[in-house]
Structure 1
């Protein structure tokens, strides 16, 4: 029997994307996690601001935290504004947290955020990947494979 495909997350509006992560890491598994945000952080994200290019996630004290992500201060936030680079708690089920903790502790995997987006209900979510770092020769191999696929598609398009 064929293995069922994992569900695709319904991303209605992508706010931030870590495009470099798919090149730097080989992605093993992906999870959808909610983010615990303050009001001004949500307003700033809805304005299209935010970056996860240098961020990562870590399992600490039975919770998963998004570290080093940048959500700039909201322009009309006055004294209630948030700190731009604070650690943000990711909302996952306990079974998922335990699975991630085991993979990070035993297998030397890394938790990398791929995208921050709003789903169809308007909730801010993070697509979190369980990944393993690539070596330089693996990166070269990925570039060769990508170039070959592009060339093959070009040949097929020209002939047919």
Structure 2
């Protein structure tokens, strides 16, 4: 497993750890060794961590911490991201692009009879993938009164 190619939990945790300045090293399959910076040692209550992203690997590796949805480490990581970094959402279509079968027109002609007209020509329109970044800023305006407002900016 290469963490650079994994678009899920492993990549999220690795990106977070690298952003906060932790030293990371892939120890073995689905196992990541982490040396946390001093300012996060108190937050996670450890200086060195051995993170496992697979249940079987976590059972076989002594001293490893299983990282999965709902694990305490992941909850603290998400909490730290929400408190310390800007909020944004990447929205995209994660499925494959639908395609027509190769003999689609022949299947239509076999099932339907066209009288006094030409059979229809089937055109495929591909849905393009669009990525939008949504940034939400909490702005505080101060004059005679203090007011807060959430400003949303969407970038195409």
- Alignment TM-score > 0.5, same fold: no
Rg larger in structure: 2
> What TM-score results when the alignment is normalised by the length of structure 1?
0.24
| Structure with more contact order per residue of length (Cα contacts < 8 Å, sep ≥ 6) | 1
> What TM-score results when the alignment is normalised by the length of structure 2?
0.24
